[in-house]
Structure 1
């Protein structure tokens, strides 16, 4: 997951950083530290897994690099 994907996933859901923190169990200061900038998230694997699991449970699909770049979208029926 990239920093841009994290921000975009939150935006698609209309979630604040606080809401993501509650849903994932990742501290708010950690989320605030991870989101700015570009590139891959630089964090522990368990933190990444918690963030991804919370976002996917809410309906986010992460799209891997496919020639056009990584991205996110919402499932049809979250």
Structure 2
């Protein structure tokens, strides 16, 4: 969902998270991953403006963070 919100392909996320595209594909297919890899992916998403939101009755999710205007 986060990749779609950013209009990123697998290679875009892999580049930003400093992992391989095969790693992203494996994770998206439900395979296990090291905690450090998942953290790198989360940090890449957050740097791009994705906000992870906790479960609110419908399950956890993501959204684009609001831009701060000054």
Q: Give the TM-score category using the shorter length.
A: 0.7 to 0.9
- Structure 2 residue ranges without an equivalent (≥5): none
Alignment coverage as a number of residue pairs: 68
> TM-score when scaled to structure 2?
0.88
Structure scoring higher RCO (CA < 8 A, sep ≥ 6) equals: 1
Asked which structure has the greater CA Rg, the reply is 2
Equivalent-residue separation in structure 2 for 1:24 and 1:18 (angstroms): 10
Report runs of 4+ in structure 1 exceeding 3 Å deviation: none
- Structure 1 residue ranges without an equivalent (≥5): 1-7
RMSD across aligned positions (CA): 1.6
> TM-score when scaled to structure 1?
0.79
